[in-house]
Amino acid sequence: MAEKLSFIVPKEFDGTRAKSFLRGYCGISAALLIKLKREQNGITADGEHIRTIDFLKEGQRVVLSLPSEQSEIDPVEGQLDIIYEDKWLLIVNKPPLMPVHPVKQHQTDTLANIVRYYNIQKNENYVFRAVNRLDRDTSGLVMISKDKFSANKLKNKVDKDYIAICHGEITCGGTINAPIGLTSESKIVRHVLPDGQPSITHYEVICHCKEASVLRLWLETGRTHQIRCHMTFLEHPLVGDDLYGGSRDHIGRQCLHCSKMSFVHPVSGEKMTVSAPIPEDMQKVVKLYFSNNEISVI
């Protein structure tokens, strides 16, 4: 696990209190700051312990010793398709039919279980924090932060692209601005409702024919089942998504894949983009509709 964070005090924070610097410049959350204050030498400046009320000088090196954490998830050996990893982040390509987190029905067959086993093998010990979440049947990129600081910095700051295969022909891209909510009929299925939560989905067409269309989609909001609900609202449900009106004749899950992530690294500040190839089951559906063509991450 990443144990220390280091920052240099810039000119504009010369003479300010440590708390203002840590919250305003470094992006340390209030909750993490409280824990750092309780750690022995949790906050130092040029090697000397400081309090959050102490004043800082330009050029000082402020080091934070992140508190250790203990994961309670059961480790289970399994395969990880690792797209990117450093001491702060782990990004994997999740296969379909795998839950991200343990739930009542799935205690040991989740991505979190496999990641726990993996980090034990690497002599790491961090709490599993998925920056983004995918449905069990949705494949693609999942980002895991290895510490609270990274998780907080990346919250709602990761741009994601999805590839979907929909029933019917869609000839041009567009934007769906339609609120989503639940009705009394189901606690799972979402609907477009006048009093639902604001929900905005953008999409462009990669290829289309009379029977199906392949789309690239990106979201302004992150509602549960947003893409699935919005495409059904357009009367173009995802192929394989029988919960929202799609057919499972050619695939046993919804054709939805998180294909790309763009973000600013929480520690280095580097602009990064990672991608994951379209899985084989979705490529087979593409070939079925589009005569042996394959779709690449664009």
CA distance 278 to 298: 11
Q: Copy the structure tokens of residue 93.
A: 């390509």
Instruction: For the sheet with 43-45, list strands across it.
Output: 4-8, 61-65, 43-45, 48-49
Q: Are 143 and 240 in contact (CB under 8 A)?
A: no
Q: Are 227 and 109 in contact (CB under 8 A)?
A: no
135 is catalytic: yes
CA distance 253 to 134: 13
CA distance 13 to 270: 22
261 CB-near residues (< 8 Å, 6+ apart)? 91, 132, 141, 143, 158, 159, 160, 161, 272, 273, 274, 275
CA distance 65 to 237: 49
Q: Copy the structure tokens of residue 280.
A: 């084989």
- Active-site option among 14, 74, 81, 135: 135
CA distance 287 to 296: 12
User: DSSP string covering 133-147, please?
Assistant: ---TT-EEEEEEESS
Largest CA distance in the chain: 69
CA distance 166 to 84: 30
User: Which residues are identified as catalytic?
Assistant: 135
